[in-house]
Amino acid sequence: MLDWLKQRQGKAVFAVQDRLYAPDPQRPLPFVYPVYDHSKSADLFEKLYGYLPAESVPGLGSTVYHVDYGNARILFLRSDAMGQQQITWARQLLGAGAKPHKVVLFHDEPAAGQANLWKLLREAGVELVIVGENVYARERAIVQEPSDFAPSPHEGYGRWTPGLSMEESQMLMLDYSEKGMAIKAMTPGEQVLDQMELNPKDAAAQRSREWVAVGIQQEWKYHLADPAMKAVIPQGFDVTGENPITTPFHLPADDWRSPAYLDADWKSGNAPLGFTNRRGEESKLNTRLKADPESPSYYFRRAFTLADKPKDMRDLILRLSYEDGLIVYLNGEEVFRDGIRTGLILPSSLAITNQAVWYRTVSLQNHIGKLRAGSNTLAVEVHRSHPGSPNFLFDLSLSYIR
């Protein structure tokens, strides 16, 4: 970890749990800010991190401090010592003159009954409270939710725990500006696994909030494409693709793309799904599929429920990872394709050779009318560029703005 941090000197500042970091007392890294977690005594903590701000709260030494970095003010607090002195100090730092973005870090959850603390954070407009592996975000400031966002016991804040749904190690990166902040869960190789976006100005955020219907790295049903699986050609469909069908149509229930299709015998797995011969990329896959030389393609399905009405939505957004080509169907109708020819596609159809695409963003604003309040279904077919191609990838999220 020490070498990894040294390579990034001058590019960012880092906040880490003290127990996860072993500093060299002879050559400290002054851009690394530790969260006091009792893994060392307070005296040793101060000795190892002599570059931290001097004592701010009587009796707590440099274990409680703050850092201003760019447009953010970051407070490192002690949940085990939340007396009036620390709360008063925090209130002053978060009050008038504070930076546009405000972040608070603890090692442990504050004790039950600390309602005054959460009230202070809420009223001060603190966007993020990071406690161990939990990320509490101010709900009124959220523009885009991450995939595993849930209510929390703290009024005004929801909770994201990215480590629960991600098997590989990760870090959180905060990317912020005057207009907003993005919090990205990333691998050490800087691959983005999930993210959340916030805007500190409540009114602006409320007007453009993004809600996740299907998150990334979620469970999908999957089946190797098979010519025996029914896929009808709708009336009016031009098999050449020169004249795309524009009239709505309904697929029969036994068509694999239909919302009514029975997929109980399909296998299930969390995305990203696929296989690869690229060294180091196997760890990016949550479900490893079998490369079958008899078929260059796989079919995927996922049902989801919408509580909101489509008529209230302003945009519909896909985020896609794939290799090589794919077609996406929403409630049985095609809404997007890339990396594959137009017109009629068979299970044996080959895609165009492409490098892996990771979380490309696509607007489906013109297809909002295909959504329904209540139950909906996404169906996706992904094709390789050659039956013997050793690389295959799929993941997808669907969100909307209202």
84-91, Cβ contacts within 8 angstroms, sequence gap of 24 or more: 85/57, 85/58, 85/59, 86/57, 86/60, 87/116, 87/117, 87/120, 89/56, 89/57, 89/64, 90/120, 91/120, 91/124
Final residue before a domain boundary, out of 186, 209, 232: 209
What's the predicted TM-score (pTM) here?
0.57
pLDDT at 203: 38
Final residue before a domain boundary, out of 149, 180, 209: 209
pLDDT at 204: 44
Question: Do 335 and 364 touch, CB atoms closer than 8 A?
Answer: yes
The answer as to whether 173 is a domain residue is yes
Both 138 and 254 in one domain: the answer is: no
Both 83 and 37 in one domain: the answer is: yes
Both 40 and 181 in one domain: the answer is: yes
Which residues of the chain fall below pLDDT 50?
Answer: 203-207
Beta-bridge partner residues of 69: 72
pLDDT at 9: 57
Give the closest residue to 196 by CA, choosing from 210, 208, 216, 182.
182
Phi/psi at 154 (nearest 5 deg)?
-105, 115
Q: Omega of the bond prior to 146 within 30 degrees of 0, cis?
A: no
pLDDT at 188: 72
The answer as to whether 214 is a domain residue is no
Please state the domain count of the chain. Answer: 2
pLDDT at 76: 95
Whole-angstrom Cα distance, residue 91 to residue 112?
Answer: 20
CATH of the domain at 204: 3.60.21
Rg of the chain, C-alpha, whole Å: 25
Both 355 and 229 in one domain: the answer is: yes
Give the closest residue to 23 by CA, choosing from 42, 7, 47, 43.
47
Whole-angstrom Cα distance, residue 114 to residue 132?
Answer: 17
Both 18 and 161 in one domain: the answer is: yes
CATH of the domain at 342: 2.60.120.260
Both 297 and 177 in one domain: the answer is: no
pLDDT at 192: 81
Beta-bridge partner residues of 198: 142, 181
Both 253 and 173 in one domain: the answer is: no
Both 229 and 350 in one domain: the answer is: yes
The answer as to whether 6 is a domain residue is yes
Both 273 and 185 in one domain: the answer is: no
Both 200 and 314 in one domain: the answer is: no
Beta-bridge partner residues of 141: none
Both 113 and 177 in one domain: the answer is: yes
Q: Which domain holds residue 171?
A: 2-209
pLDDT at 208: 57
